[in-house]
C-alpha cells in the first residue's frame, strides 16, 4: 500500500507498483478484500484529480508476480539447496500434501550435481569420447583421430545438457507445487530462516533484500565445493579446480596437464584428457595407490590402459611448492622431483557449503571440512533439522544422495521404525567411476575380504571372450569379476571395468539384494550377444575353479 497525507493511494495485488512523487511513502503490499481494492482505486482517482499531476506524481513502474510474495512465509518443510537429495526430499514431502520450499542461490537449480559436478563432468567425458575418435579405435586402429578438439567444442555440449537438465528439474518442482526461492539461507533460530538476496535479484524481482521463512522441519542439502591449498595458488587459468574447468575459466585444453589428487574427480579428468591425441597427463598423489577403495585388479587394468596412452603416475609424493612460469606451471615434490606442465588441476578434497548457514544459532556444529553429522534417519542433533547429500560426507554420490533425500522425507512424516532397512544402510549400492575406461562395483573387494579373513573364490569374464565385446571393439582391458563364497556360493561383490560397466553392474546389485547365489548367473538366460552375458561367463569360470580345486586336492 502507498500512502500520503490524504490517506490510502494504492493497493497492489498480484503486481508490484512503485509510485514516484513528493510525499508518497511505500509500505508493504498485502492482500485485501475486493471492496478495499475498489476503495483504493477511488482514492487513486481522487488523488489524481486533486493534484492535477497524474503524469508526474503517479509514475508507475510495474513488476509482475504470479502471486504476492509475503515477507514472512510459513512452510511444513524448507530445504536448503536444490541438488539430488534436496529435490527428492522436497518432491517426496510435497506428494504427502506438505507445503514445501526450496532455497538456493540464483542460477543454481539442480545444485552442484547439475552445474559443476555429475552432469557436466560426465557430459565432458561423452564429448571427449566422441570428438577424440576414441570409440572408433577398435575399428580403425589407435592412430585414428578426428579434428583438433577445443575446450569450446566440449563446453558447447556441456552447456546444452546442463540447460536441459535445469528445465527438467524446474518442471518437476513446478508439477509438485514446490516453491523455489532464490537467495542465501541463514538460520535465525530453530524454526526460522532469513533469506538474503543479491542486489541483482532484488532489482529484477522487486522484492525486499531480506525475508523470513518459518518451518516445522528443515533439510540441509547445500552440497560442497572444491577445497583449496595455500601451497597451490589456484587462479582459474593456469592452476584451476574441478569447478573452473567446467565454467569456461580456461581458454585452451592443456597439452600437458598435471593432476594433483588421485581420487574419483582427479582420475576421471586425468583419463579424459589422456585419451585426446597429442595430450599427456601426470597424476600426483600422496597415497600409494589410486582409487584405493576399489578392487586392486580393476585398478591395475585402469593404470595399464592409461599408461599405454602416455599417462604418468607419481604416487607417494607430496607437493612442496607450486609456481607459474612463462611456460605454464612447475611443481616441486618431496622426493626432489620437479614436474612441469602447461596447467595444473587441483582435486584434493571437497568443502561443504555450510559455513554461511549460521548453524551455531541452532546449536549445530560442523567438522573442519564443514560436514554435518547425522544419524541413520538423517537427523542432526536437532531432531527437526535433517541433512543429506554431499554435505554429510561419504559416499558422496548423486545416486545415494537421491535416496538419502527420499529417506529423510519418509522419516520426517513417519516413524523411523516403520521403514524397512534401506539399501544404503546395508551397503548394497553401486559405485560408478567415469574414468576411461569406466569402472563400477558393488559389494566387497578382494582386499576387504582378505582383511576380514573371509574365504572366497573369484569368477572372471574378459570382454575379449564376449562376442559383443569383439563386435563393438571394446575388448581392451574390459572385464567383469564376481567374488563369492566357495561353499555356499553366496555373492560377496561384483567388479567391472570397460564400456558399459556402470550399466551392467546393476544386474549384480539386484542379484545380491535378492540373496541370489552364483548359480543364478549360471542358470539365467541372457540376450546374446550382450555385455551382460559376462555374468554367465564369469559364473561358469568361478564354478570351474571350484571343480579344479576339488580335483586338485584329491
pLDDT reported for residue 134: 79
Indicate the angle between helix axes 151-175 and 84-95, nearest 10 degrees: 20
* For residue 205, pLDDT beyond 80: no
**Per the domain annotation, does 423 fall within a domain?**
no
Same domain, 82 and 221: yes
Same domain, 167 and 195: yes
Q: How many CB atoms lie within 10 A of CB 189?
A: 11
Bind-site residues for FAD = 122, 390
Same domain, 171 and 316: no
**What b/e string do you get for 145-165 counting C-beta neighbours within 10 Å, with b at 16 or more?**
beeebebeebbebbeebbeeb
pLDDT reported for residue 363: 94
Instruction: Give residue 329's domain range.
Output: 239-348
**Per the domain annotation, does 487 fall within a domain?**
yes
**Per the domain annotation, does 232 fall within a domain?**
no
pLDDT reported for residue 58: 38
* For residue 165, pLDDT beyond 70: yes
* For residue 342, pLDDT beyond 80: yes
* Least confident residue range of 311-325, 439-453, 536-550: 536-550
Q: How many CB atoms lie within 10 A of CB 446?
A: 18
* Least confident residue range of 1-15, 299-313, 402-416, 514-528: 1-15
Same domain, 26 and 137: no
Last residue of a domain, one of 299, 325, 348: 348
**Per the domain annotation, does 427 fall within a domain?**
no
- Residues 246-269: pLDDT tens digits? 887 788 899 999 999 999 999 999
* For residue 189, pLDDT beyond 70: yes
* For residue 4, pLDDT beyond 70: no
* For residue 11, pLDDT beyond 50: no
Last residue of a domain, one of 348, 376, 399: 348
Same domain, 458 and 549: yes
- Residues 46-63: pLDDT tens digits? 444 444 444 333 343 333
Q: Are 424 and 407 in contact (CB under 8 A)?
A: yes
Same domain, 59 and 82: no
Per this entry, what is the length of the chain? 554
pLDDT reported for residue 114: 95
Number of domains in the chain: 4
* For residue 90, pLDDT beyond 90: yes
Report d(CA 137, CA 158) in Å as an integer. Answer: 24
Of the candidates 456, 491, 495, the one whose C-alpha atom is nearest the C-alpha of residue 479 is 495
Same domain, 208 and 254: no
Q: Is 50 exposed, middle or buried (0-12, 13-18, 19+ CB in 10 A)?
A: exposed
* For residue 541, pLDDT beyond 90: yes
Q: Are 220 and 80 in contact (CB under 8 A)?
A: yes
pLDDT reported for residue 427: 84
* Higher pLDDT pick, 34 / 336: 336
Task: Name, in order, each residue with C-beta under 8 angstroms of 494's C-beta and a sequence gap of 6 or more.
Answer: 441, 442, 443, 480, 481, 482, 483, 505, 508, 509, 512
Q: pTM of the predicted model, to two decimals?
A: 0.83
Indicate the angle between helix axes 534-553 and 501-513, nearest 10 degrees: 60
Strands (E), 137-271: 179-182, 184-189, 192-196, 210-220, 224-226, 239-241, 256-260
Same domain, 103 and 45: no
Mean pLDDT of 432-454: 97
Among all chains, which residue has been given the C-alpha cell 524397512?
A: 420
pLDDT reported for residue 108: 84
**Per the domain annotation, does 472 fall within a domain?**
yes
Bind-site residues = 122, 261-268, 349, 390
Same domain, 161 and 198: yes
Report d(CA 53, CA 42) in Å as an integer. Answer: 16
Task: Name, in order, each residue with C-beta under 8 angstroms of 192's C-beta and a sequence gap of 6 or more.
Answer: 212, 213, 214
Kindly report the CATH number assigned to the domain that includes residue 268: 3.50.50.60
Return the ∠ at Cα 172 (arms to 167 and 173), rounded to 5°. Answer: 100
* For residue 519, pLDDT beyond 80: yes
Kindly report the CATH number assigned to the domain that includes residue 518: 3.30.390.30
* Least confident residue range of 93-97, 134-138, 187-191, 420-424: 134-138
Same domain, 323 and 357: no
Query: Could you tell me what percent of the chain has a pLDDT over 90?
Result: 71
* Least confident residue range of 201-210, 247-256, 347-356, 532-541: 201-210
pLDDT reported for residue 415: 65
* Least confident residue range of 190-199, 295-304, 452-461, 526-535: 190-199
* Least confident residue range of 33-47, 187-201, 362-376, 444-458: 33-47
Same domain, 392 and 519: no
**Per the domain annotation, does 428 fall within a domain?**
no
Banded model confidence at residue 145, pLDDT cuts 50, 70, 90: low
**Per the domain annotation, does 425 fall within a domain?**
no
Bind-site residues for NAD(+) = 261-268, 349
Last residue of a domain, one of 14, 42, 64: 64
Task: Name, in order, each residue with C-beta under 8 angstroms of 372's C-beta and a sequence gap of 6 or more.
Answer: 220, 352, 354, 359, 364, 366, 380, 387, 391, 392
pLDDT reported for residue 200: 57
**Per the domain annotation, does 109 fall within a domain?**
yes
Banded model confidence at residue 425, pLDDT cuts 50, 70, 90: confident
Give me the chain's average pLDDT, please.
Answer: 85
pLDDT reported for residue 33: 38
Same domain, 56 and 92: no
pLDDT reported for residue 148: 82
Strands (E), 48-114: 61-64, 72-80, 100-104
H/E stretch holding 307 = helix 296-307
* Higher pLDDT pick, 419 / 407: 407
Return the ∠ at Cα 81 (arms to 76 and 83), rounded to 5°. Answer: 115
Amino acid at each position: 500500500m502507498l500512502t500520503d497525507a490524504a490517506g490510502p493511494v494504492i493497493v497492489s495485488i498480484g503486481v508490484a507498483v512503485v509510485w514516484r512523487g513528493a510525499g508518497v511513502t511505500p509500505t508493504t503490499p498485502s492482500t485485501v478484500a475486493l471492496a478495499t481494492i475498489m476503495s483504493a482505486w477511488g482514492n487513486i482517482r481522487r488523488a489524481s484529480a486533486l493534484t492535477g499531476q497524474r503524469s508526474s506524481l503517479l509514475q508507475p513502474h510495474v513488476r509482475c508476480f504470479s502471486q504476492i510474495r509475503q515477507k514472512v512465509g510459513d512452510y511444513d518443510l524448507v530445504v536448503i539447496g536444490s541438488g539430488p537429495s534436496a529435490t527428492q526430499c522436497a518432491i517426496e514431502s510435497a506428494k504427502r500434501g506438505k507445503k514445501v520450499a526450496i532455497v538456493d542461490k540464483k542460477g543454481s537449480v539442480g545444485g552442484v550435481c547439475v552445474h559443476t559436478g555429475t552432469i557436466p563432468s560426465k557430459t565432458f567425458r561423452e564429448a571427449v569420447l566422441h570428438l577424440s575418435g576414441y570409440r572408433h579405435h577398435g575399428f580403425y586402429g589407435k592412430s585414428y583421430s578426428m579434428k583438433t578438439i577445443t575446450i569450446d567444442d566440449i563446453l558447447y555440449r556441456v552447456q546444452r545438457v546442463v540447460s536441459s537438465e535445469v528445465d527438467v528439474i524446474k518442471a518437476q518442482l513446478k508439477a509438485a507445487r514446490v516453491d523455489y526461492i532464490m537467495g542465501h539461507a541463514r538460520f535465525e533460530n530453530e524454526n526460522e530462516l532469513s533469506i538474503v538476496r543479491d542486489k541483482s535479484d532484488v532489482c529484477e524481482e522487486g522484492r525486499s533484500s531480506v525475508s523470513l521463512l518459518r518451518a516445522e522441519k528443515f533439510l540441509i542439502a547445500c552440497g560442497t565445493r572444491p577445497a583449496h591449498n595455500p601451497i597451490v595458488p589456484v587462479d582459474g587459468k593456469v592452476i584451476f579446480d574441478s569447478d573452473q574447468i567446467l565454467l569456461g575459466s580456461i581458454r585452451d585444453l592443456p597439452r600437458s596437464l598435471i593432476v594433483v589428487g588421485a581420487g574419483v574427480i582427479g582420475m576421471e579428468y586425468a583419463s579424459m584428457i589422456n585419451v585426446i591425441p597429442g595430450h599427456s597427463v601426470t597424476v600426483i598423489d600422496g597415497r600409494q595407490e589410486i582409487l584405493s577403495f576399489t578392487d586392486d585388479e580393476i585398478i591395475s587394468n585402469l593404470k595399464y590402459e592409461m599408461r599405454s596412452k602416455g599417462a604418468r603416475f607419481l604416487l607417494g609424493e607430496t607437493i612442496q611448492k607450486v609456481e607459474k612460469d612463462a611456460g605454464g606451471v612447475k611443481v616441486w615434490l618431496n622426493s626432489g622431483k620437479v614436474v612441469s606442465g602447461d596447467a595444473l588441476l587441483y582435486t584434493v578434497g571437497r568443502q561443504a557449503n555450510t559455513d554461511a548457514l549460521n548453524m551455531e544459532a541452532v546449536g549445530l556444529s560442523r567438522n573442519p571440512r564443514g560436514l554435518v553429522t547425522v544419524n541413520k534417519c538423517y537427523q542432526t542433533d536437532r531432531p527437526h533439522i535433517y541433512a543429506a547429500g554431499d554435505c554429510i560426507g561419504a559416499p558422496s554420490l548423486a545416486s545415494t544422495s537421491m535416496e538419502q533425500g527420499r529417506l529423510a522425507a519418509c522419516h520426517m512424516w513417519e516413524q523411523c521404525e516403520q521403514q524397512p532397512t534401506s539399501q544404503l544402510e546395508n551397503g548394497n549400492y553401486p559405485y560408478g567411476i567415469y574414468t576411461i575406461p569406466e569402472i563400477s562395483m558393488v559389494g566387497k573387494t578382494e582386499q576387504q575380504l582378505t582383511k576380514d579373513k573371509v574365504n572366497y573364490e573369484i569368477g572372471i569374464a574378459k570382454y575379449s571372450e564376449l562376442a559383443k565385446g569383439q563386435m563393438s571393439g571394446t575388448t581392451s582391458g574390459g572385464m567383469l569379476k564376481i567374488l563369492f563364497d566357495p561353499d555356499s556360493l553366496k555373492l560377496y561383490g561384483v567388479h567391472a571395468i570397460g564400456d558399459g560397466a556402470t550399466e551392467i553392474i546393476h544386474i549384480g546389485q539386484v542379484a545380491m539384494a535378492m540373496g541370489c547365489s552364483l548359480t543364478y548367473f549360471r542358470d539365467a538366460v541372457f540376450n546374446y550377444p550382450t555385455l551382460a552375458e559376462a555374468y554367465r561367463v564369469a559364473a561358469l569360470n568361478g564354478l570351474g575353479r571350484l571343480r579344479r580345486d576339488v580335483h586338485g586336492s584329491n
